[in-house]
Chains A and B, each alone.
Chain A
Amino acid sequence: MQRWTSAQHEESSAAWAAEAPRLPEIPGQLIFENVYHAYFRHTVAWIRVLGVPEAEIEDIAQEVFLVVRRKLPHFRDGNLAGWLYRIAQLTVRNFRRRAWFKNLFSRGQNLDATEVLDTSASPATALERKQDQRVLTQMLARMSDKRRATLVLFEIEGYSGQEIATLHGVPVKTVWTRLHHARKDLVAMVAALRKQREYEAGKS
């Protein structure tokens, strides 16, 4: 049984930081520890792409890997990344359902990823970035789940079309179609926003 070594861990971290993430291959028998260390960062990225607030991502990741630990012995399919992505999708769906009930009774407030401050920039730049993030998040929220996930995975997280196709379990052409429509939707929303701002500026 081959364990995930610290050297592999460092190598993976360096590769992730340097370039776009690659879906890892796990040689030999699947054991939970290896799956966890190979896919934790990907899972966190997927959970974020699926629209979970930043503050809840760790808890959801824990739930996802608890399910993985329980079901891994029964895993037979070859598409491990797709299987993990599906578990993340279902866990996020359950989380949203719970959050809906929780907000219904406690008037809870959803935390936003854009609330996280970027300390690397100057205050003015950080404020502008935060404003842009808020606008973009609102636009993404108005898109369908499939298009949004495809767009964010490709444009922001840096997954390739083939990898997205593997995760979603669809042909690559479907990914390009979704991406095309997602971009079109986003550009249309940006155009509408620009027109609205121009109208408001002219009015004032």
Chain B
Amino acid sequence: MTAMSRPLQIASRIAASLVGGWVFVWGLVMLGIGALLRGGVPYEDAQTAMYLLAFLVYLAAFCWTYAAASAWRVWLVLLGGGALMTAVGSWLAGPAAA
């Protein structure tokens, strides 16, 4: 981490805030729709509800990326969390629930 130059650090944060943030929000939408479908909410409503929430979370993730102390943790939480939520969401939404 200390070996990284300042421009590289900034590039990493910008990439994390945009790409990482997007992956995280994608996961959140997948997880939310999956959970709501399981809860008996119609598909359209589940999707709309998650879309209304999505960009507020994106905003929070975006700001947090620059405030967080460790860039590695940011990448881990955003990409790891996004992937995990996507996986759980797909499983919840699975053909059985549809």
Tell me if chain B binds chain A.
Answer: no
